[in-house]
């Protein structure tokens, strides 16, 4: 594509990415892609009913455009997957890191092939954050490890898998979202670390990915106060142009995390667009409520800023040239190969289940008297699908199961019931100090309790006196099936990729 032949509207469209409502081409998509020349569209689970439907949707989106559209999604693996059936199952990052880590490339490659077949060409993954804060509310087991070397080893394999399948990967969330205790969907995290400190931990996986040829980086909404004390990373020239592009030498696609997260409430649309573009981003991503009137206002604001010379054509052309070059690579080509390698996926899930502590309560037999206590699963973060359906251990184990939630208060009954059982399996999901899970756990006889952390392996830090402790890292049906089998065989191979 010849950039000189593009109009201003077309150039602006190449630098904007919007979410949408619906599962087929509708007025919103027609206005965005056909009328306003938007060149990037992001899907969420709400847009995907099944593979046949989403493949046709993506084909129809492309047919609206004069130039190829980057169609993206978050397919990190585990709990963060937009396409959840009939493709290669991709385990979550920490689950993969708990295996021998030899097949991370292959499972990401096959996932990439399947996504490509459905018409996607950009994946907002892998997660390159080093989860060195156990209280991190949003990254946690989405990270491979708290060890930067392990994270680097894994992200390089993961991005190569996607890239070889011709899915453009964007390692995230630069310069690192691991050492935060605020979810950037809900607030503005602040990290007060020197560049020297960042070089030792946070930047290590990003540097290794860049040096190994990754084509995309996603920027976080975190204020790194010793680099830029005024603007969060996604709007910061110091972070994006000086650090990422000049110091680290990254020449690929730079995309923001969604600018409708908490940052949306702190800056005006004009400030977000002006700083976002001038900082050096190539694509500004807007998800959120995905209202067409807001999206049109963003586009019109971008135009006004250009006409007012607050954004230069040279800055725009630099990004658009990069976008078009990468579209030549990822939108016109297709790798033909075997898809849907779930045999490997299931093997990796089984290998990932980790026994951290043992009190000789396993294996469990069908003759044992066992009570299962299972929490009602809710969204851990806004990055999770809001239409997830969750299974429980009771589907896979032949024992009585009690489902608990924040309204549980019948502790006397629980004390009476637990006396009837030889063993208790208590599953936990992102335990917080003094929450209902902790209160229930404190009433149990620790000598006969097996605690299974369904997502965050840090649950074991909050619950005191845990004697038998297992981590699954993901609360998917694949993980539940795997851990149920392991409880009966006591054959655990996973190795904890963090320190607790």
The residues assigned a catalytic role are 185, 257
| Region label for 140, one of left (φ > 0), alpha (ψ between -120 and 50) or beta (otherwise) | left
State how far the Cα of 19 lies from the Cα of 109, in Å rounded to an integer: 25
First-to-last alpha carbon distance for the chain, in angstroms, is 52
State how far the Cα of 426 lies from the Cα of 424, in Å rounded to an integer: 6
Query: How does 165-195 read in b/e, with b if 16+ C-beta sit within 10 Å?
Result: bbbbbbbbbbbbbbbbebbbbebbbebebee
State how far the Cα of 10 lies from the Cα of 6, in Å rounded to an integer: 6
Decide if 98 contacts 496 (C-beta within 8 A). Answer: yes
- For 280, the token pair is 């050096």
State how far the Cα of 109 lies from the Cα of 118, in Å rounded to an integer: 14
State how far the Cα of 204 lies from the Cα of 74, in Å rounded to an integer: 23
State how far the Cα of 268 lies from the Cα of 234, in Å rounded to an integer: 14
Decide if 281 contacts 219 (C-beta within 8 A). Answer: yes
Query: For residue 67, what are the CA distances in angstroms to 2, 30, 136, 263?
Result: 11, 14, 40, 31
- For 195, the token pair is 């560049």
Place of tokens 């540097």: 207
- Number of neighbours of residue 422 by Cβ within 10 angstroms: 12
DSSP string computed for 412-456: HHHHHHHTT-SEEEEEESS--TTSHHHHHHHTS-GGGEEEEESS-
- For 437, the token pair is 């899970």
């Amino acid at each position: 594509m010849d950039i000189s032949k593009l109009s201003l509207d077309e150039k602006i469209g190449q630098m904007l990415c919007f979410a949408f409502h619906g599962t087929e081409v509708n007025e919103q998509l027609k206005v965005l892609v056909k009328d306003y020349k938007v060149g990037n569209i992001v899907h969420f689970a709400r847009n995907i009913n099944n593979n046949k439907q989403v493949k046709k949707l993506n084909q129809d989106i492309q047919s609206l455009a004069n130039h190829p559209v980057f169609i993206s999604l978050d397919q990190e693996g585990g709990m963060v997957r937009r396409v959840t059936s009939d493709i290669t199952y991709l385990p979550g990052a920490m689950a993969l890191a708990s295996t021998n880590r030899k097949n991370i490339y292959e499972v990401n490659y096959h996932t990439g092939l399947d996504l490509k077949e459905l018409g996607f060409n950009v994946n907002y993954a892998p997660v390159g954050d080093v989860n060195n804060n156990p209280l991190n509310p949003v990254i946690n087991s989405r990270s491979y490890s708290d060890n930067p070397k392990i994270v680097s080893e894994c992200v390089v394999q993961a991005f190569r898998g996607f890239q070889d399948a011709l899915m453009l990967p964007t390692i995230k969330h630069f310069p690192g979202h691991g050492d935060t205790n605020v979810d950037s969907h809900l607030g503005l995290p602040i990290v007060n670390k020197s560049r020297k400190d960042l070089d030792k931990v946070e930047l290590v996986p990003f540097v290794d990915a860049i040096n190994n040829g990754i084509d995309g980086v996603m920027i976080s909404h975190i204020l790194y106060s010793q680099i830029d004390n005024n603007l969060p990373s996604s709007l910061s020239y110091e972070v994006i142009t000086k650090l990422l592009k000049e110091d680290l030498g990254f020449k690929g696609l730079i995309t923001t995390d969604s600018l409708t997260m908490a940052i949306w409430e702190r800056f005006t649309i004009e400030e977000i667009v002006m700083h976002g573009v001038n900082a050096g981003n190539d694509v500004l991503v807007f998800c959120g409520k995905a209202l067409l009137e807001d999206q049109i206002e963003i586009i019109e604001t971008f135009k006004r800023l250009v006409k007012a010379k607050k954004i230069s054509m040279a800055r725009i052309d630099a990004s658009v040239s990069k976008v078009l070059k990468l579209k030549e690579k990822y939108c016109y080509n297709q790798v033909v190969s075997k898809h849907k390698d779930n045999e490997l996926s299931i093997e990796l899930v089984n290998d990932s289940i980790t026994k951290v502590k043992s009190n000789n309560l396993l294996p469990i037999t069908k003759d044992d008297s066992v009570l299962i206590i299972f929490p009602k699963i809710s969204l851990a973060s806004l990055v999770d699908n809001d239409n997830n359906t969750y299974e429980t251990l009771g589907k896979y184990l032949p024992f009585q199961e009690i489902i608990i939630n924040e309204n549980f208060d019948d502790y006397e009954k629980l004390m009476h019931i637990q006396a009837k059982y030889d063993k208790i399996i208590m599953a936990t999901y992102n335990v917080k100090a003094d929450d209902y899970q902790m209160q229930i756990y404190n009433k149990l006889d620790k000598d006969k309790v097996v605690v299974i952390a369904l997502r965050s392996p840090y649950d074991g830090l909050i619950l005191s006196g845990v004697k038998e402790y297992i981590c699954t890292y993901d609360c998917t049906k694949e993980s539940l099936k795997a851990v149920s089998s392991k409880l009966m065989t006591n054959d655990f191979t996973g190795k904890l990729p963090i320190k607790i």
